[in-house]
A and B are shown apart, each in its own frame.
Chain A
Amino acid sequence: MGFPHHPHPRETTVLTKHFGEADARTLAGWKKRGGYKALEKALGMQPADIVNVVKESGLRGRGGAGFPTGMKWSFMKPGDGKPHYLCCNADESEPGTFKDRELMRWTPHALVEGCAIGAYAIGAETAYVYIRGEFTEPLHWMESAVKEAYAAGIIGKNAMGSGKRIDVHVHKGAGAYICGEETALMESLEGRRGNPRIKPPFPAVSGVFGMPTTINNVETLIAAAPILLNGAEWYKKMSLSSPKSTGTKLYSVCGNVQRPGTYEVVMGFPFKEFLYDLCGGPLHGRKFKAVIPGGASVPIQNMEEAEATLMDYEGFVAGGSMLGSGGVIVIDDAQPMVTVIARLARFFAHESCGQCTQCREGTAWTTKILERIRDGEGTVEDLDTLLDIGEQMTGKTICVLSDSCAVPVVSGIKKFRGEFEALIQGKRFHPVTAAVA
């Protein structure tokens, strides 16, 4: 768990081990903790071998989609005569998610190292770290880490004396949620408006500046270093749910919970124990009502589903949701669900880039209906309309922002329909007694 708290004994701290140690942010401090050993090892290996180790480790993308990282790296064909690029997606904007922020705040050198390893593995000489505009402190630490690493010759024209060139550039975004979508990120990086591109072509064929590009999440790249040092077997073994989901995963917990913060647990950890033990359970006198386990874009779980869930890619799907970005939003019985969902929808309506019709109009329309229901002006037909708009917004647009907006709305109506109907019937939600009257 993140500073100022000590990790919970049941956490497995691999990536979060040095959280809270101010010294670890400097090059000297990071080296003292074993930093850049993995990069040194990597530069002595063949890129294809690195890709194979990562493939074997079963590491999957930590940004939300969970695509196998080794396989993604293997899409980058060596010797195609084109410059390759690595993009690190540090535009962590998913509501409820702040794990990458903490990683960059406390272990900026770990990301520099991860970027360098990733870039070398995919045959790229340049890595871009696209940091969310609001992340001023992580930006500061990342910039200082990159500067230190250049000065020490760890990256640059002759990375660690290997004769290989690896450049790492830190790019500050301007605070748009959509720029976390990989193709929008690339548009933004190139200096254009952050609108998602039509796929295909996929980034591995035509990404940044039209060149083959791999884009990875912060946590994914940082995880590559311990995997290289300790081996794929070590990484797989940690997990309780090998071989499908391996290693550890960071969760950022927020909402109505005793101990919000960043936690690192192994894959397959029971969600119930995570919520009640590690996170300390609900606030005094309250009960959990719902959990959004993977950032605002995944389906809402009711407690029955959540408590039966094992925390890995498959477990959350079995539990009616998705692992997503690991942003756990806990909602207790004092929160009216309609208000929660309306607020989520408003976020998506605000952040829609406005390219695709369904998303531009649908997110705003959904929000207006939800807020009307919230204010006691809803009708029974509104729920059908919402579900139908949700259907229209799913799987029909360039990127998944539209789907993401529909997800909490559709799952919320399905799982908490009673609260919607009560408001429509003119009843009021009482936040103290949590009763509808």
Chain B
Amino acid sequence: MAEKKMVNLTIEGRPVSVVEGTTILEAAKTAGILIPHYCYHPGLPIAGVCRMCLVEVEKAPKLAPSCATTVAEGQVVRVYSDKSLDARKGVLEMLLINHPLDCPICDQSGECELQDYTYQEGREDSRYREPKRFNPAEDFGGDVIYVPNRCILCTRCVRFMDDVAHEPTLNVSERGDRALIGKFEGKDLTHPWAANVVDLCPVGALLSKDFLNKARAWELDRTASICPNCTQGCNVIMETRENQLVRMRPRPNENVNAFFMCDWGRLNYRWMNEKNRVEHPMVRGKNGLAASDWEAAISAAARALNGKKVFVAASPMLSNESLYLLTQLMQGGSGAFRVTEGEEAPLPGVEDLALRRERAANVYGAEKLGFNKTKDLLGGLGQGDVLVIAGEDLAGIDASSVARAGDVIVIGSVLPEAAGKASVVLPIANYSEEEGTVTNLRGRVQRFTQAKQAPGETRPSWLVLGDLLGAIGKQTNFFLPSEVFAQLASSNSSFAGLSYDSLGFKGLPLVDAPPTSPKAPIAVAAR
């Protein structure tokens, strides 16, 4: 491949060297300067309409929109010159003249770019003395509500639907100061990826119905994670309030999901707040299952295993770490998992990005670690085997098919009805309550971290399994999930060379994963 030509310029006195064709705005980012902007978004075609990113370029007669101006050799760019600051102050004042200033009741408040830049560079007061424009809020269908009074007409939402979702649904209706975002006749924001317009909206004009009036932005705790709802493995931020998951939003990763995530994944988080949890270890005694302490429960489980053949019914939501430890429990037995399926829904504007048919986080990882993907989950359960049910709810499975098992150990966050004869129940944290890694359908290993506290006495699955392995006499010494992963990496050639440190928060492909190309941003040219 030909060497890319580098261009040298100076931005706010800092020397910057970037690839030819880069915009001033992107070049400034490399120098640690975020030029204020609204309509520009790296995942969308350039519009150049908000005029917020105006900067002074030495020797140019006019201020330049930095999102639409490419760098030139020797350019001297002033982001914070009086002229640039004055222009941006002017834009901010104009954006606010018809804005209702209803931050106290606006969901976007606290994560609003209009607020941020106004605090940063705006005027203290407004000189606007006239009546404000008013348009009623509108249901845009799907998960989206439009509040036109807060809209700054950046057209990110329009461009997303046109150029990324390839389903033109939104438009700019009317013109001049009457302009507002409109829906095409008979269309709704029902595209499976449409809710991304809510994230893209830099202000509080497009709101999520699901999140409406639920929490203030500053009450939320944010955790880097991976969406568990299909095999794509979109990078997400899990947002919790008072230990309840209230929202999932995409986290950019150019190798997986660009800047987006699908509506199904985004809205399917309530199961992680489930209330029907097993909160204490339980051991079967004379009067059935009874709460116990961890030591007793682990020893009871170890006794039940006691050198017997084990069949593991695992959930593909479990981490690589837990699945790996489960394989160590098998003692010559085997493991299987099943996966819920749905319709595949691609996002056409981004290469190889879709809501996948298989709706679980770690299908690829489970297969890689030797679990059989099957529709008949307990098909491999032999007469008299010890059945270990790990994270599986056994929904739709009749208690009679469990009867074959010599003994049943439940390692899960809920107690499956069909596992009524379990002799030991070890409660574990669910996906949002522990740390680990999952492997997506392209073999990319990605870390997820703990977003909320697990209830009661539940423990992370890797910790429970580590203790159990210790109790049956295997050498274990795990204090952190990274140590489990290190052992996995040293024992499984696919994972060789990977570590929590090297994975970081963007992940890395397995050694034997097929090569994938980074997701190129949408064509840079304006339409």
Contact = CB atoms under 8 A, between A and B. Distances in A.
Interface stretch (B94-102, B252-260, B511-519): B94-102
A391 B68 CA distance: 22
A369 B171 CA distance: 30
Interface string A197-208: 110000000000
A365 interface: yes
A355 B49 contact: yes
A365 B54 contact: no
A365 B128 contact: yes
**Chain A CB within 10 Å, residue with most, of B52, B94, B95, B174:** B94
Interface string A378-411: 0001000100100110011110000000000000
Nearest to A362: B94
Contacts of A197: 526
B50 interface: yes
A360 interface: yes
Contacts of A388: 90
B153 interface: yes
A392 B175 contact: no
Looking at chain A's contact residues, the main secondary structure is helix
Given A357-B95, A363-B176, A198 B68 contact: yes
A353 interface: yes
A352 B176 contact: yes
B127 A361 contact: no
Given A198-B65, A365-B97, A354 B175 contact: yes
B402 interface: no
Given A198-B68, A385-B127, A360 B526 contact: no
A398 B152 CA distance: 17
A358 B174 contact: no
**Chain B CB within 10 Å, residue with most, of A192, A369, A381, A398:** A398
B95 to A, nearest CB: 6
Contacts of A392: 87, 90-91, 93-94
Given A198-B526, A395-B63, A398-B48, A361 B130 contact: no
B79 to A, nearest CB: 16
A354 B176 contact: yes
A360 B87 contact: no
Contact of B153 (A350, A354, A368, A369): A354
B46 A396 contact: no
Given A198-B65, A368-B130, A392-B87, A354 B174 contact: yes
A147 interface: no
A171 interface: no
A372 interface: yes
Contacts of A362: 94
Interface residues of B, number: 37
A397 B130 contact: no
A391 B49 CA distance: 18
Nearest to B38: A357
B172 A354 contact: yes
A330 interface: no
A358 B94 contact: yes
A356 interface: yes
Contacts of B171: 193
A364 B177 contact: yes
B370 to A, nearest CB: 54
Interface string A220-261: 000000000000000000000000000000000000000000
A83 B490 CA distance: 62
Interface residues of A, number: 34
A121 to B, nearest CB: 28
B10 to A, nearest CB: 22
A110 to B, nearest CB: 34
Interface in A38-58: none
A213 B184 CA distance: 31
A360 B63 contact: no
Interface string B121-157: 0000001111000000000000000000000110000
Interface string B13-51: 000000000000000000000000000000000111111
Contacts of B95: 357, 361
B183 to A, nearest CB: 15
Contact of B94 (A198, A353, A357, A391): A357
B98 A193 contact: no
Contacts of A391: 90
A176 B49 CA distance: 19
Contacts of A396: 51, 54, 62-63, 87, 90
A143 interface: no
Contacts of B128: 365
B103 interface: no
Interface in B162-180: 171-172, 174-179
A397 B51 contact: yes
A307 to B, nearest CB: 32
Given A198-B65, A392-B94, A352 B526 contact: no
A368 B526 CA distance: 33
Contacts of B98: 361
B350 to A, nearest CB: 23
Contacts of B175: 176, 178, 351-354
Interface string B71-94: 000000000000000010011011
Contacts of A360: 94, 153, 176-177, 179
B145 to A, nearest CB: 22
B130 A395 contact: no
A363 B152 contact: no
A349 interface: yes
Interface in A168-189: 176, 178
A321 B281 CA distance: 87
Contacts of A364: 176-177
Given A198-B68, A396-B54, A357 B176 contact: no
Contacts of A192: 527
Contacts of B91: 357-358, 392
A356 B49 contact: yes
Contacts of B87: 392, 396
10 contacts: A178-B175, A352-B177, A353-B176, A354-B175, A354-B178, A358-B94, A360-B94, A365-B94, A368-B130, A369-B129
Given A352-B176, A365-B94, A372-B129, 8 more contacts: A356-B50, A357-B91, A357-B153, A360-B176, A360-B179, A364-B177, A365-B130, A395-B61
